[in-house]
């Protein structure tokens, strides 16, 4: 069985609801453990989220907010 990450889900989905939930989950796990940021950087999660934020699935302000949270937490 292939492992799929939340960043993969955000990258491949066309649904704005799924993208929002995935981005929110990524933002939430960065609050739980500081090592999460290192793992997310290794997976290029932030790069994928920022790239996807320009696509139709990510036009919501709620999505933009979650992507900004991920960015701020990963650049500390």
What would the pLDDT profile of 20-48 be if each residue is shown by its tens digit? 999 999 888 887 887 887 888 888 888 88
**Measured CA angle at 75 (ends 72, 76), to 5 deg:** 90
Task: Give residue 53's pLDDT band: very low, low, confident or very high (50, 70, 90).
Answer: confident
Q: What is the pLDDT of residue 19?
A: 93
Q: What is the tally of helices (H) and strands (E) in the chain?
A: 5, 0
Distances (CA, A) of 59 to 4, 14, 18, 38, 49: 24, 12, 13, 27, 12
Q: What is the pLDDT of residue 1?
A: 56
Q: Distance from first CA to last CA of the chain, Å, rounded?
A: 35
Q: Say what the pTM is.
A: 0.82
């Amino acid at each position: 069985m292939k492992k799929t990450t939340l960043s993969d889900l955000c990258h491949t989905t066309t649904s704005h609801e799924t993208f929002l939930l995935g981005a929110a989950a990524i933002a939430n796990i960065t609050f739980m453990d500081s090592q999460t940021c290192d793992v997310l950087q290794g997976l290029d999660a932030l790069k994928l989220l920022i790239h996807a934020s320009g696509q139709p699935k990510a036009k919501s302000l709620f999505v933009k907010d979650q992507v900004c949270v991920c960015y701020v937490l990963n650049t500390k």
